[in-house]
Amino acid sequence: MNVTDTSTDDLRVGVIGLGFAGSTHLDAFTDLPGATVVALAGQEPARLEELGRSRGVPHLYADWQDLVARDDLDIVSIGVPNDLHHPIAMAALQSGKHVFCEKPLATTGDLAAEMVAEAKAADRVLEVAYNHRRRADVAFLGDFLADDPIGEIYHARASWLRRSAIPGLGSWFTSRATAGGGPLIDLGSHVLDIALHLMGEPRVVTASAVTYNELGRRGRGGGTKVPASSDGTHAFDVEDFASALLRFDTGASLLLQASWASYSKNHEDIEVELLGSTGGARLHVDDYSTEGTLTLYSDVEGVPTVARPAVHVPAGHHRTVIAGFLEAIRQGEGASAPRYTNHYGEYALHRSRVVDAIYASAAAGHEVEVEGEAL
Residue 158 Cβ, how far from ligand NAD at the closest point, in Å? 16
Question: Could you give the count of Cα atoms lying within 13 Å of 239 in the half-sphere of its Cβ?
Answer: 25
Residue 222 touching ligand NAD (CB under 6 A): no
Residue 104 Cβ, how far from ligand NAD at the closest point, in Å? 7
In degrees and rounded to multiples of 5, residue 54 shows phi and psi of -70, -30
CB 178 within 8 A of CB 234: yes
Residue 68 Cβ, how far from ligand NAD at the closest point, in Å? 10
Sequence-separated (6 or more) residues with CB below 8 Å from residue 349? 105, 109, 112, 113, 115, 116, 373
Measured over the CA atoms of residue 103, residue 101, residue 224 and residue 235, the dihedral's sign is: negative
Residue 287 touching ligand NAD (CB under 6 A): no
For ligand NAD, the closer of residues 63 and 327 by Cβ is 63
Residue 316 touching ligand NAD (CB under 6 A): no
CB 109 within 8 A of CB 204: no
How many other C-beta atoms are found inside a 10 Å radius of the C-beta of residue 60?
17
Measured over the CA atoms of residue 271, residue 347, residue 314 and residue 81, the dihedral's sign is: negative
Selected from 18, 192, 215, 368, the binder of ligand NAD by CB under 6 A is 18
Residue 82 touching ligand NAD (CB under 6 A): yes
Selected from 103, 163, 176, 343, the binder of ligand NAD by CB under 6 A is 103
Residue 105 touching ligand NAD (CB under 6 A): no
Selected from 20, 140, 154, 212, the binder of ligand NAD by CB under 6 A is 20
Residue 355 touching ligand NAD (CB under 6 A): no
Residue ranges in 123-142 that form contacts with ligand NAD under rule CB under 6 A: 129, 131
Selected from 11, 41, 358, 370, the binder of ligand NAD by CB under 6 A is 41
Cα–Cα distance measured from residue 271 to residue 93, given in angstroms and rounded to the nearest whole number: 35
Piece of the chain touching ligand NAD by CB under 6 A; list 20-28, 119-127, 271-279, 357-365: 20-28
Selected from 13, 80, 215, 296, the binder of ligand NAD by CB under 6 A is 80
CB 168 within 8 A of CB 227: yes
Residue ranges in 162-191 that form contacts with ligand NAD under rule CB under 6 A: 186
Residue 347 touching ligand NAD (CB under 6 A): no
Residue 66 touching ligand NAD (CB under 6 A): no
Instruction: Give the interface with ligand NAD as residue ranges (CB under 6 A).
Output: 16-22, 41-44, 63-64, 79-82, 84, 102-103, 129, 131, 186, 227-229
